Amino acid sequence: MIEFGHLTHAGLRRELNEDTYYGDADLGLWLVADGMGGHEYGEVASALAREAVVREVRAGASLEQAIRSADEEIIRASRLRHDALPMGTTVVAARVRDGRFQVAWVGDSRAYLWRDGKLVQLSQDHSYVQELISQGAISTDQARHHPHRNVVTQALGVTEPQALKVETMSGEFAPGMQLLLCSDGLTEEVDDRGIARILAHDECSAQECVDGLVAAALDGGGSDNVTAILIRAC
């Protein structure tokens, strides 16, 4: 049995919410897409990504295939609009079937797994600061305050299909485990320790935990749109 909670909020400093999300326990598909605020029509790009991934998965495509189709569709839509800059979006998606999960992502929206009382980040950001971390040039704590922490190196609609890096990870999804999908509006304001403290409240429903995560992001400053989905195996 699957329980899930979900919430999105524009944040405290932006009028427009360019995040979008989807959740369907029957289909076993969840996703978060964060439209790129530095490009026009970020909210259009995230909505196109959501619709394309859901459609392709329903038609039998893998998560990776569905995300690649979304990239191509957003690029086509942007070219038809003759935009000066392409519209773009990150995406992180999860499928849960037969006691297992698979996650796939492009950009810096994240997937976490809560297991045995511990929080593990499954995804690795496609971002400038993550490249610096991987090179040993800066620490994870330094990355949180780096002036270029919001610069992504991969995004749907911006990265050409032949260069798109869709990463995936899979594993067991047994009772007591939780999958968290979120936009960077959450992780910008709440560190992993803060996320773990909220997910540790297993007496709370998945929705109550999500409400707590978004509230924590707003309490932290709410500098960006924030979206979270928590999928719990019961």
More confident residue, 140 or 36: 36
Global pTM reads: 0.93
pLDDT tens figures, 136-165: 676 676 666 666 666 778 999 999 999 999
Q: What value does the mean pLDDT take over residues 173-193? A: 96
Judge whether 20 and 46 are in contact, CB under 8 Å: yes
β-bridge mates for residue 35, sequence order:
89
Tell me, what's the pLDDT at 181? 98
How many domains does the structure of the chain reveal?
1
pLDDT tens figures, 75-108: 999 888 777 677 899 999 999 999 999 999 999 9
Q: How far apart are the C-alpha atoms of 109 and 91, rounded to whole Å?
A: 6
What CATH code is carried by the domain that includes residue 47? 3.60.40.10
Tell me, what's the pLDDT at 199? 96
Asked if the model's pLDDT at residue 129 lies above 80, the reply is no
Q: How far apart are the C-alpha atoms of 66 and 113, rounded to whole Å?
A: 22
DSSP 137: S
Tell me, what's the pLDDT at 85? 73
Q: How far apart are the C-alpha atoms of 4 and 215, rounded to whole Å?
A: 17
Angle at CA of residue 124, ends 122 and 125, nearest 5°: 135
Nearest to 21 by CA among 30, 29, 32: 32
Q: Confidence class of residue 128 from pLDDT cuts 50, 70 and 90?
A: low
Domain carrying residue 177? 2-233
How far separated are the first and last CA of the chain, in Å rounded?
5
Asked if the model's pLDDT at residue 39 lies above 60, the reply is no
Q: How far is CA 131 from CA 102, 151, 164, 174, 206, in A?
A: 24, 11, 16, 33, 33
Tell me, what's the pLDDT at 228? 98
Asked if the model's pLDDT at residue 38 lies above 60, the reply is no
